[in-house]
Amino acid sequence: MLSKKPVAIIVGASRGIGRQLAIDLSKNGYAVIVAAKSISDPSKVHPFPPDPNSPQSTINTVEREIREASGDASAVLVDTRDFASIQRMVDQAISIYGRIDVCIYNSGAIWWSSVEKTPMKRFQLMQSVNPDGLYGTIQAVLPVFRENDWKGRIVVVSPPIYSRFFRGKTAYAMGKIGMSVLTKGLGMDFEREGRTDMAITSIWPATAIQSAATSDPASMKDLRKPTIFSDAILAMLNAPANTVNGCLELDEDFLRKTGVTNFDKYSLIPGTQPRRIMPAKFPSLTVAEQDDEGVRVDSTLLRAKI
Active site residues: 172
Burial group, residue 43, by CB count within 10 angstroms (0-12, 13-18, 19+)? exposed
In the 8-state DSSP scheme, what is residue 136? H
In the 8-state DSSP scheme, what is residue 46? S
160, 247 Cβ separation under 8 angstroms:
no
260, 227 Cβ separation under 8 angstroms:
no
Nearest to 6 by CA among 23, 31, 27: 31
The single-letter code of the amino acid at 230 is S
Torsion of CA 101, 36, 203, 218, to 10 degrees: 150
**Residue 167 to residues 5, 112, 113, 114, 238: CA-CA distances in angstroms?**
43, 9, 9, 8, 35
108, 129 Cβ separation under 8 angstroms:
yes
CA atoms within 13 A on the CB side of 276: 10
Instruction: List, as own/partner pairs, every contact residues 138-145 make where C-beta atoms lie below 8 angstroms and the sequence separation is at least 24, other chains included.
Output: 138/103, 138/105, 138/182, 138/186, 138/200, 139/83, 140/83, 140/86, 140/87, 140/89, 140/90, 141/9, 141/90, 141/100, 141/103, 144/90, 144/94, 144/99, 144/100, 145/100, 145/198
The single-letter code of the amino acid at 169 is K
186, 142 Cβ separation under 8 angstroms:
no
